[in-house]
Chains A and B, each alone.
Chain A
Amino acid sequence: MKGLVPFGVAIAVLAVVPLLTSSNVVLNFLVVALLIALVGQGWNLLGGYGGQYSFGHAAFFGTGAYVSAILQVRYGINAWLGFCIGIAAGAAVGAVIGALTFRSGLKGSYFALITLAFAEVLRIVASVAAITGAGVGTLIKLDLRPEAFQFQSRAPFYWIILALVGASLIIVRMIEDSRFGAYLIAVRENEDAAKALGVNTTVIKIGAMTISAAITAAGGGFYAQYFLFLDAGIAYGSWISIDALLAPIVGGLGTVYGPLLGALVIKTLGEATKLLTSDAPGLDLVIYGCILILVIAFAPRGIVGIFADLNRRLRAGKTDAPASLEQRHG
């Protein structure tokens, strides 16, 4: 598999962080950034590779979180098993929403609005249903044992979310190198041309949405274990839908490393704003909005695109150099 070396280096560098610092602030920041990277990678598969911009990835995040939490709290199911069932439930929600929207041919802004509507409906249902704890929310009982997916320190959480991000990177890299991935990109680039070449575009889009939802639901399940508390506004709130799309767009749409880079950058800027403005509520969202406008206007291919351009210019510079030497001698 191509690109395995930078992948290994990136994960190895990130993996040693807890050995260098025991600062909860640093680790907490990185855990949240990696969580956004994971959720963003889910969004990136459907939005970046498939060109289907969802505004409602909260639907999958919240389902992963609630299913995992409710199974533990109300049915006494093991947290790890609940986490896995949560992922499956998120994938199922993705498949159902995907089937409903793509089979009726919804595209572009209509698709974005419908996904937003699904997430909002789930948020409202979760805020009144008894099983989610309605307005009170769901609290997972403190049980600091690894078997219960709870830990004394933040380091194990950090390694788990890092492993999940690593797994999502490998999954997306493998998809890039497969027929499914080639078809998914073809759908993004030109749906009619893809159909004429034998691509069942509806099936491809539903498949992408299912995998995308599963990755995002894993983020939701992790969130539940890490914070041990959920309510409708957290699980199905628009904050996660926004972070999910902002990370890959800032980092580089349709690239393997885009969501990770983007998540680190936007979370760093978000924290910096909080420090500078002494926690004025909502100001980080103002900053996010400005970043999004700037990126779309000046770097539509994100951070990965900026690096690719720089790399190309450097190489062009190197090949120019021998030519100018020859001129001098000639």
Chain B
Amino acid sequence: MADLLRVDQVSMRFGGLLAVDNASLTAEAGRITALIGPNGAGKSTLFAIISGFLRPSSGSVFYDGAEIIGEPPHRLARRGIARTFQITQPFAGLTVRENIAVGAHLKRAARPDALAAAGEVARAVGLGELLDRPAADLTVAGRKRLELARALATEPRLILLDEVLAGLNPTEVRVMIPVIRAIRDRGITVFMIEHIMEAVMSLAEHVFVLSEGRMIAEGTPQAIAGNPRVVEAYLGHGAATRMMETDHA
């Protein structure tokens, strides 16, 4: 299948800090692709570049075959790229339904249509009971679902999920995993940043690993888990060798 998203040698410099260093990746249409890496690796920066919130210092991003660097976020959203935020950004003064309706308005001009569509999306992500509650009252898990629902309501082709499972307890994570899989099954390409390895292992079909701004590995989840460079990126220099030694002993 064709690549819906291709990031080509992107670098992002903030003053003296090189947050993303010549990173490249692809997300194949109809699949779940994950981007993992330790804290501060530059994952969210890369997301901000893909969704048009940041302009990279160099490199290209292709979506559906066309270069999208320089396109503002609202135009990318109209072209089918939706994103969630790691730090949830609810419209706190509005109800859950009104929040989701803002997303639904992208494809629907009439208020009643958008509100009805918001109800459907809410039920799909498990917010059906909370439709008329103020977004400010939601728990962390609820806010993550709301982020997801708002993005889905725009009816995207590509959805960028920035740690939608972070801050959830193990039960909540287990509930969310099938929700994300269902998004893929509806034909939406999923590109997710995730910390929770259990989730990445069971969800992603292809994984990229970013460390200190550089892409250090890619492959299937199984291949990644056994890659010494990845283990070292997470656990520190020499960790892989030490683990091997303990295994042998």
Contacts and interface: CB of A to CB of B under 8 A. Distances in A.
Interface of A: 177-179, 182-183, 185-186, 188-190, 192-201
12 contacts: A179-B105, A179-B109, A183-B102, A194-B102, A195-B53, A195-B77, A196-B73, A197-B151, A198-B74, A198-B77, A198-B103, A201-B74
Given A182-B98, A198-B74, A193 B91 contact: yes
A177 B105 CA distance: 12
Given A190-B91, A195-B74, A200-B75, 13 more contacts: A179-B110, A179-B111, A182-B98, A182-B102, A186-B94, A190-B89, A190-B92, A193-B85, A193-B91, A196-B53, A196-B83, A197-B102, A198-B78
Contact of A177 (B73, B94, B111, B151): B111
B122 to A, nearest CB: 15
Contacts of B91: 185-186, 189-190, 193
Instruction: Indicate the member of A183, A185, A196 with the most B CB atoms within 10 Å.
Output: A196
B102 to A, nearest CB: 5
A171 to B, nearest CB: 16
A192 B53 contact: yes
Interface of B: 51, 53, 72-75, 77-78, 82-83, 85, 89-94, 98, 101-103, 105-106, 108-111, 114, 150-151, 153-154
Contacts of A200: 72, 74-75
Contact of B101 (A182, A195, A201): A182
A198 B111 contact: no
A174 B150 CA distance: 24
B111 A178 contact: yes
B111 A196 contact: no
Contacts of B150: 193, 197
Contacts of A186: 91, 94, 102
A197 B104 CA distance: 9
A179 B102 CA distance: 8
Contact of A197 (B93, B94, B106, B111): B106
B89 A193 contact: yes
Contacts of B110: 179
